[in-house]
Structure 1
């Protein structure tokens, strides 16, 4: 695939062909024509993947639960950031919203991204709920 013939990906078949070509060029020498082609293909591929395979961020409560698991935290570990055990339980069970103070504390204390903590909370989605 010559660089002057590059175009945006429009179909799944084009996407697959581009993946194969990227695989062929992956070990191209820096500053070579193949390396330049690889860089352009990666940009085109990235755009297609962002449009067709976008990954949605979890809502704030799901994010907190995921990070708790990843960091090995318990509900008790969140008390300093949320005020008390009752608040932690209510927030994680979607019975209470995160307050601005909680959001600030989780961001400053645990490095949780503000953009996720202030996002809209989706309705309760536990599959085990009756």
Structure 2
């Protein structure tokens, strides 16, 4: 544990940092070990975000995920978007979200607006 904490540049350094995090996992807050744990966590997170970026879901997948996560129904989506047919068209990718729909979803269901306004594929009628 006397080794200095350094930036992570390789998968090997990443694996070593993850192993060290495992060893330090139960460190008491306020101790040097806990400080090291926090710094290693930040370094690992930064490396992983750069090495294995995760694209946000497209708008339709984000809506479906939020519905599943929160237990929202198609009826609730229809109420939010204005009609059952509109909700069905959005979920079936036959219609794009308008800015007004994206805003309502973002405000009511707390889906990030950046996710809802991303371009996505639609299916022809």
TM-score normalised according to structure 1 size: 0.79
Partner SS state of residue 54, structure 2: coil
The 2-side partners of 1:37 and 1:94 are apart by 47
Once the two structures are TM-superposed, the CA of residue 124 in structure 1 deviates from its matched residue by 5.5
- The equivalent residue for 1:128 is none
Residue segments in structure 1 that go unaligned for 5+ positions in a row = 126-130
Mapped partners of 2:66, 2:45: distance in 1: 27
1:97: Cα distance to partner? 1.0
Cross-structure match for 1:41: 40
TM-score (norm 2): 0.82
| Alignment root-mean-square deviation, CA | 2.1
Pick closer, same or farther for the CA change 1:37–1:120 going to 2, 3 Å: same
1:87 match:
86
How many pairs align?
Answer: 123
Unmatched 5+ stretches in structure 2: none
